[in-house]
Every structure is written in structure tokens, then in C-alpha cells.
Amino acid sequence: MKKITFILIALTLAFTTLNAQDLSLAWDGEPIGETLIVYGAQTDAEIVAHAILTNESDHSMDIKVLRERLEMQDSTSSQFCWAGSCYPPNTDLSFDVLTLAAGASCGDEDFSGHYIPTAYIPTGVWGDSYIKYTFFNENNESEAISVVVQFSATTTGIGDIEETAIAVYPNPANNFVNIESQSRIERIGIYDLTGKTVYSTTSDQNKLKINIDFLESGIYLIKLETENGIRVEKLNVR
């Protein structure tokens, strides 16, 4: 049985920090919202989430990290790294402090969250686990920002479909997007960068044309599940 129900997740996502504007999170040039989805295979030694923290305030901050395991699949584990130290699975609060000057950002390797689906079972555990990370100023804990990472361990992971097997076009797209696969498409989901599902459908075909004129301009993620694996692609909507 999973440790904590989805009710707790809903309550957590409903909670917002008082001064989230003082800090921001991003990765690969894109902002991170309240939730982030990271995919991997259930046989992976670990599935890793990254983030770059920026101090948007006009003063220096001494930043620490708090991890909260909201919902974990049985027989899985997690740990995190911050400011040059990686903590054991039973440690939820960083000992180390990273000082960020006003307008400064941490480095690419300063933070990482590690989910371990193979912690106790060599073949790994299938399914989703939810872990919340809160970055806060040690000297003023109201200056904080949180993200809930959904670690999704699938049977095949991401990228197991050959690059030539999938076509998503046009990209950038405006009113519609075509998706073609050499393998039969079983399910398609489109997510915004906060992890919210904005469109989903099932299929038993190799080609789909999806109307996206209801989407606002921005970057989205398309999760494509076929009979041979899973692929996630970025979609730029104009």
C-alpha cells in the first residue's frame, strides 16, 4: 500500500509559500512550476531531477533544502544532493548552506533529487512517487519556494524508441499537431511545464492529428506511449 494518499498531495499543491517571488526554479532554460514530472525505467539504478535556483531578491540568502516524501511506492528509496554534499536516504534536511547573492543562481550540479526504484528489488518498482523539495532562506524561512517532483518509473523508460520512429510536426505548432509513429500509438498526453495535463487521449493507430488551438503560447511536453516504449518530446505552441 502506498504510504500517503492523493488527498495529501492535493493539499500540498494547494499550499503556496508567502514569498515565492523571492526565489525561482528553472532547468534547461525553462521555468519549473509547482510540479515537475521526471520519467525513467523501473530497472534504472536511479531517476534524477535537477533544478537551478535563482535568488530574485535584492539581498543575499543562505539557502538550505528540505525534502518531504509525500507518496512513495513500496520498496523504493530516495536521497538528494545540495551544495556539494549528497545525503543518505534517511536525511530530509540539508546540513550545508549555499549562499546566493542577490540575482545569483546556483550551479547545474548544486541540486539533484534521486529516486531509486531498484532500492530493494533488483527488477525495480513500477509506478509514480511524489517528493517535495523546499528551498528556503535559513535566516528568513518565509523566503522559500517548493516543487513537487513526480518520479514516474515505467517498464521501458524514456528514449527506448529509436529517434527515427517518431515524428511530431509542425513544431512550432499553431492550430494542430501531427504525430506519427512506426509503432502503434496507445496513449498520448500533453502537459504544461508545471506537470498539469492539458490533453490526453487513447489510440490504436500509427497517426494522429490533434487540435491544439485551445492551448496558450508556450512550451509543452508530449508523452507518447506506444507498444514498443515511451517517448517525451517538447512542443512549442505559437
Q: In this predicted model, what pLDDT tens digit does every residue of 91-137 receive, in sequence order?
A: 999 999 999 999 999 999 999 999 999 998 888 888 889 999 999 99
Report domain 6-154's class.
mainly beta
pLDDT band at 209 (very low <50, low <70, confident <90, very high): very high
What is the structure's pLDDT at 234? 80
Residue 156 has pLDDT above 60, yes or no: no
What is the structure's pLDDT at 17? 39
170: cis peptide before it, omega within 30°?
Answer: yes
- Phi, psi (deg, nearest 5) at residue 20: -60, -20
Which triple of cell numbers denotes residue 62? 543562505
In angstroms and rounded to an integer, the radius of gyration of the C-alpha atoms of the chain is 19
Per-domain residue ranges of the chain: 6-154, 163-237
Residue 23 has pLDDT above 90, yes or no: yes
Domain 163-237 in CATH 3.40.50.2000? The answer is no
Share of the chain above pLDDT 90, in %: 51
Which triple of cell numbers denotes residue 123? 527488477
Residues β-bridged to residue 63: 98, 137
Residues β-bridged to residue 176: 211
117 touches 44 (CB < 8 A): yes
Kindly report the pTM of this predicted structure. Answer: 0.64
Confirm whether 6-154 and 163-237 share one CATH topology.
yes
Smallest CA-to-CA distance from 152 within 205, 213, 221, 238 is with 221
Q: How confident is the model over 33-85, as pLDDT tens digits?
A: 888 888 888 888 999 999 999 999 999 999 999 999 999 999 999 999 999 99
224 touches 158 (CB < 8 A): no
Residues β-bridged to residue 191: 197, 221
